[in-house]
Amino acid sequence: MRTQQDRTFRIMNMHLVDIQDCSEDGWPEVMPCYDVPERLVTFCIGSKDKDGYAHFYLDDYRFERCWNRPERYIDELMRYQGVIGPDFSTYTDMPYPMQMWNKYRSMALTNYWQRCGIEVVPNLQWSDERSFWFAFEGMPHGGTFSVSTVGLGKDEEARARFQSGLDVAIEICGVDTLLSYGSWQGFDVHGRCDVVRYKNDNKERLKAWEASQKEGA
């Protein structure tokens, strides 16, 4: 019979990483990746399209299962060519402890997947400048990194925060190649790394569906 301590241990996924898997500051460490995928495809259970790197630029509830039962989805993830590190939300209006918890979850799963033999591109995420002190902890130095611009739109304040965080991320992580998912919108890496752009496949799929509906009307 499982004890309450066992259940808590499992729910918090305290078994995913040990202290030796973490930096001195306690963040799960991520190994560098040097791959540059030809395609990024939305992570989807049961999808037949595995020809690319799975990304998690989705609402959190759509991949929360990977955190809740991480062992169950290893075989599914291995069917892809590789994956982008998960992107649990770190919105600016979230309390900072919650942002840090989501950052920890993203890093812990990335670390776990890499130890399971999955090729994982580290995912960069931050909220505002007050998050910079923890946002890039545990990240490797050099290699390929990924970032999403989805949701920035024409919000000038959000775009400025993104550019500011991008500058810090490139400097701290020594980014060689940056994978950009979504509209690049004129952001500038100041020649410090290569940028490879990928369209928002969810948006493209929605456009295709709407076009098919109009044709069938």
CB distance 136 to 169 below 8 Å: yes
Integer angstrom CA distances of residue 209 from 6, 78, 200, 206:
46, 28, 14, 5
Q: Examine the pLDDT at 70 and tell me if it is beyond 70.
A: yes
Which residues does residue 41 pair with via DSSP β-bridges, in sequence order? 54
Q: What is the mean pLDDT of residues 187-209?
A: 82
Half-sphere exposure in the Cβ direction for 206 (13 Å, CA): 6
Q: What is the mean pLDDT of residues 157-170?
A: 96
Domain boundaries, the chain: 40-216
Lowest mean pLDDT among 5-19, 86-100, 200-214: 200-214
Q: What is the mean pLDDT of residues 7-25?
A: 74
**Sign (positive or negative) of CA dihedral 98, 74, 43, 31:** positive
CB distance 29 to 23 below 8 Å: yes
